[in-house]
Chain A
Amino acid sequence: MESGKNPMGDEELADLIKNSPENLEGLINRYWDRLFYFIKKVSYFGDEDAEDILQNVFIKVYKNINDFDSSMKFSSWIYRITRNEVVDQIRKKQARPQNISYDASEILKLTGSEINIEKDIQGKEARAEIMKIISGLPVKYREAIILKFLEEKSYDEMMDILKKPKGTVAALINRGKKLMQKEAEKRNITL
Chain B
Amino acid sequence: MKKNDQAKKIINKISQEEITPRPKWKFYAGNGFFWLLWAVLIFAGAVFGSLLFLNFFDFHPALLNFIGAGGYLMFILSNFPYFFLLFFLTFIVFGWMTIRKTKKGYRYNKFFVGAVILISVALLAGLIHAFNFDRKFEGRLAHKIPLQKNFVEKKYPGNYSVEKGFLAGEILLAGDKKLKLMSFNSRQWEVLYSERTKIHPKVMLVEGEYIITAGRKVDENVFEAYLIRNTGGRAEAGKGRLKNSNWHR
A→B interface (CB under 8 Å): 17-18, 21-22, 24-25, 28-29, 32-33, 51, 54-55, 58-59, 62-67, 71, 159-160, 163-167
Contacts and interface: CB of A to CB of B under 8 A. Distances in A.
B27 A51 contact: no
Given A21-B15, A62-B21, A66-B23, A55 B6 contact: yes
A29 B24 CA distance: 26
The secondary structure that dominates the A interface is helix
Contact of A66 (B8, B27, B104): B27
8 contacts: A24-B14, A25-B8, A51-B6, A63-B20, A65-B21, A67-B22, A159-B107, A165-B109
Contacts of A24: 7, 10-11, 14
Interface in B10-69: 10-11, 13-15, 19-24, 27
B7 A29 contact: yes
Contacts of B247: none
B3 interface: yes
Contact of B110 (A21, A25, A71, A165): A165
Interface residues of B, number: 25
A66 B15 contact: no
A63 B19 CA distance: 7
B246 interface: no
B1 interface: yes
B106 A54 contact: no
Contact of B10 (A18, A58, A65, A67): A58
B11 A21 contact: yes
B9 interface: yes
